[in-house]
Amino acid sequence: MTTRMRYGAVATAALLLGTTAGCAGLGTADPAADRPAGSAAGSGPSAAGGAAPRGGFTLVASGDVLPHDSVISRANADAGGAGHDFVPMLAGVKPVVSAADVAICHMETVYGPEGGPFTGYPSFASPPEIATALRATGYDSCSTASNHTLDAGAEGIGRTLGALDRAGVKHAGSARSPEEDTRPALLDAGSAKVAQLAYTYDTNGKPLPEGQPWAVDLIDEEKILADSRAARAAGADVVVVSLHWGTEWQTAPDERQLDLGERLTAARTGDRPDIDLIIGTHAHVPQAYEKVNGTWIVYGMGDQIAGEMINNAGQSDPRGTQGTIGRFTFEPPAAEGERWPVTKAEFIPQTMDNSVGRVVNLPRALDADPTRDDYRTTRTAIEAAVLGRGAADDGLTTGR
């Protein structure tokens, strides 16, 4: 994996705790209007002042948001030609995303200036309205470290994080200051706190902005573990690491993914793992879920939003619009200071149907119309990839 010198890897507990209340670059969460009754809003201290019993929570995560030119055009059409509206595009997955206590996305691209110009591949400049759509869908935080993070230099990072801030979506993986780089996204999940950290294998060869070695977090095993331990010391009950890694268009995880995943999940402080969940992006195809050293790894979520994709052989490849939503149910530990275990792991097959410009929850779509053989074929292909390393034996099931 590409590595770099560590820069500000370990934040103090006091600094990390400060992110809970609206730090620059983290945004603020909306009221839990889309949360199920009895979840985040009802799990804090009781009215009498005593501590309420700690309850479990659900976390969902999804793959690359990659607005190609055709996707941008569709969002413009959905806005009636005035601006861009991505909310209808994501409506099919909103019931799953908004019902979770914590929802994590991956914003692969950076945003262009207000009013444009907006561009797709190879150098992305996405409409900033996508940030408001992500929040409207129910997402709480996005990883922003990818090989496209420096497509527009430091200015692109600033525009992207600013738009996410205004939308109320937290973020991890890129930064506008060294102080921001040391802060994970800290998310309330019922009575638990979840920390999200994010890293990328490369920035397409673009150098980090001069004097800003903290602008994008590159994959560095030592830094990842130091950051994870700092987040834990600051009070994170669950540490989630988002990794932009792997080999594009390869369904099987590559050796670097397998090796790093093994090492990261083996790392412990005392008897407690330093990382509780790893979420992978970048390959543009669904990859396997696997439980390694007792910790779930999603090697590749696939794409959530993408136009028609061309693979490395120059051929149109339908896998580029396929992905999953991972849903993990965490329960409180048996004793204070132990890990929060995952008691239920699910994946929900989805696809970006560019014929209608919508992200489709495949199980629900097939319930509504069992005659859609194209959707059935896509779902079967996704399931084969996801279960390719034996995750069913560890309890992974298909969700809805």
Q: Which residues of 299-319 are buried (b: 16+ CB within 10 A; e: fewer)?
A: bbbbbbbbbebeeeeeeebeb
Question: Which one-letter amino acid corresponds to residue 37?
Answer: A
pLDDT of 53? 57
Flag whether pLDDT at 299 surpasses 90. yes
How far does Cα 100 stand from its chain's mean position?
14
Residue 146, CB half-sphere, CA atoms under 13 Å: how many?
29
- Rounded to an integer, the average pLDDT of 344-366 is 98
Flag whether pLDDT at 270 surpasses 80. yes
Q: Is the pTM of this model over 0.85?
A: yes
Residue scoring higher pLDDT (360 or 11):
360
- Rounded to an integer, the average pLDDT of 6-28 is 33
Residue scoring higher pLDDT (41 or 299):
299
Q: Are 67 and 336 spatial neighbours (Cβ–Cβ below 8 Å)?
A: no
Q: Other C-beta atoms within 10 Å of 122: how many?
A: 8
Rounded to an integer, what distance in angstroms lies between the CA atom of residue 376 and that of residue 76? Answer: 30
Q: Other C-beta atoms within 10 Å of 72: how many?
A: 23
Flag whether pLDDT at 155 surpasses 80. yes
Q: Other C-beta atoms within 10 Å of 171: how many?
A: 27
- Tell me how far apart the terminal alpha carbons of the chain are, to the nearest angstrom: 35
- Rounded to an integer, the average pLDDT of 76-80 is 98
- Rounded to an integer, the average pLDDT of 297-312 is 97
Token match 């339908």: residue?
Answer: 318
Q: Are 57 and 98 spatial neighbours (Cβ–Cβ below 8 Å)?
A: no
Q: Other C-beta atoms within 10 Å of 341: how many?
A: 14
Q: Are 368 and 308 spatial neighbours (Cβ–Cβ below 8 Å)?
A: no
- Rounded to an integer, the average pLDDT of 274-282 is 98
pLDDT of 5? 31
Query: Which of 6-20, 122-136, 228-242, 330-344 is predicted least confidently?
Result: 6-20
Which residues are within 8 A (CB) of 29 and not within 5 positions of it... i.e. 6 or more apart? 140, 168, 170, 187, 188
Going 242 to 245 to 248 to 251, the CA torsion angle's sign is negative
Query: Which of 101-110, 126-135, 183-192 is predicted least confidently?
Result: 183-192
Token match 């399931």: residue?
Answer: 383
Give Cα separations from 376 to 113, 283, 305, 362 (angstroms).
Answer: 40, 22, 19, 8
Query: Confidence class of residue 54 from pLDDT cuts 50, 70 and 90?
Result: confident
In this predicted model, what pLDDT tens digit does every residue of 227-251 receive, in sequence order? 999 999 999 999 999 999 999 999 9
Flag whether pLDDT at 366 surpasses 80. yes
CA quadruple 238, 239, 240, 244: dihedral, nearest 10: 180
Flag whether pLDDT at 126 surpasses 90. yes
- Is 3.60.21.10 the CATH number for 13-28+57-398? yes
pLDDT of 81? 97
The residue ranges of every structural domain in the chain are 13-28+57-398
- Rounded to an integer, the average pLDDT of 348-355 is 98
